[in-house]
């Protein structure tokens, strides 16, 4: 697995506030291709800032961002290389939507890359197909429903054909059906080898889906671990104001090993355990 993105001792603070509070402090992290990362942390913990830095919208005050081993400076060219390789889906789709139709909207990114019409068309068609937007192609994105807008905003980023996709609280304000759809989408994208980093407040989702957890608290990266390690550390969870996932707790209480990630795996493990206990009088 090759290293895609690397942040080295990156700090950032927003200007213009009364007191200059550091939004992200000394953050070092490296992300490889094909990884599935859940980014946890409360509101204002620094998740969004981390994403904006990783996408090159913000430039670090201190420290360096590397993309595929090359340092990214403040030059437009270098920033665009980062932005092309790392896609970002904003929390609020409304800030992203620009075009008059869904098709136009998705084409904005590829058009900026200076590609030929044919190539732009191919990418737009690809993103439309992946996000299942065929029936909405000619609609005005401003008037779509929340779930549909979210799909459009993911398609926006996919049309850039990134290697790493960052999703900032994609499940926020989605109904359960759209959440399931989103999870399935994330599953498919992951299977295609796209590295994914998803910020969320849902520890159950993080447990089900992620291979790795990044936790932020008060502008600092406080944990970069596997889900098993992360959710076992009660002290750390307390600091981040997070709880253990339900499945994790139940499986631990029942001493099931290895810990099941999905409800189905849990049911199977319980059934097996029951059979074993049945054999022993």
Q: Find the binder of other proteins among 117, 180, 184, 241 (CB under 8 A).
A: 117
Question: How many chain residues touch other proteins (CB under 8 A)?
Answer: 39
Q: How far is the CB of 210 from other proteins (least distance, A)?
A: 23
Q: How far is the CB of 78 from other proteins (least distance, A)?
A: 12
Which residue, 114 or 176, is less far from other proteins as judged by CB?
Answer: 114
Q: How far is the CB of 97 from other proteins (least distance, A)?
A: 8
Instruction: For residue 32, state whether it binds other proteins (rule: CB under 8 A).
Output: no
Instruction: For residue 49, state whether it binds other proteins (rule: CB under 8 A).
Output: no
Instruction: For residue 142, state whether it binds other proteins (rule: CB under 8 A).
Output: yes
Instruction: For residue 80, state whether it binds other proteins (rule: CB under 8 A).
Output: yes
Q: How far is the CB of 262 from other proteins (least distance, A)?
A: 33
Question: What is the bridge-based pairing of β-strands 3-13 and 62-67?
Answer: antiparallel
Q: Find the binder of other proteins among 76, 192, 255, 276 (CB under 8 A).
A: 76
Q: Find the binder of other proteins among 28, 30, 64, 112 (CB under 8 A).
A: 112
Instruction: For residue 52, state whether it binds other proteins (rule: CB under 8 A).
Output: yes
- The footprint of other proteins (CB under 8 A) covers 52, 55-57, 76, 80, 83-84, 87-88, 90, 92, 94-96, 98-100, 103-105, 107-113, 117, 120-121, 124, 138, 140, 142-143, 156-157, 160
């Amino acid at each position: 697995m090759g290293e895609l993105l690397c942040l080295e001792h990156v700090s950032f603070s927003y200007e213009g506030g009364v007191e200059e509070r550091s939004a992200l402090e000394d953050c070092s992290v490296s992300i490889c291709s094909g990884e599935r990362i859940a980014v946890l942390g409360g509101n204002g913990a620094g998740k969004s800032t981390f994403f904006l830095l990783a996408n090159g919208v913000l430039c670090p005050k201190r420290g360096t961002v590397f993309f595929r081993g090359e340092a990214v400076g403040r030059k437009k060219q270098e920033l665009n290389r980062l932005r092309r390789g790392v896609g970002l889906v904003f929390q609020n789709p409304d800030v992203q939507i620009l075009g008059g139709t869904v098709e136009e909207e998705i084409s904005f990114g590829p058009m900026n890359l200076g590609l030929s019409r044919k190539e732009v068309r191919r990418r737009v068609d690809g993103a439309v197909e992946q996000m299942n937007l065929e029936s909405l192609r000619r609609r005005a994105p401003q008037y779509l429903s929340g779930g549909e807008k979210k799909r459009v905003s993911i398609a926006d980023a996919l049309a850039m054909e990134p290697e790493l996709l960052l999703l900032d609280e994609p499940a926020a304000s989605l109904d359960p059906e759209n959440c399931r759809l989103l999870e399935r989408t994330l599953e498919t994208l992951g299977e295609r080898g796209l590295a994914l980093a998803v910020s969320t407040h849902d520890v159950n989702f993080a447990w089900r889906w992620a291979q790795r957890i990044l936790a932020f608290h008060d502008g600092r990266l406080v944990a970069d671990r596997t889900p098993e390690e992360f959710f076992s550390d009660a002290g750390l969870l307390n600091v981040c104001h997070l709880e253990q996932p339900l499945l994790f707790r139940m499986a631990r209480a029942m001493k099931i090993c290895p810990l099941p990630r999905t409800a189905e795996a849990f049911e199977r493990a319980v059934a097996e355990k029951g059979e074993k206990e049945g054999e022993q009088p």
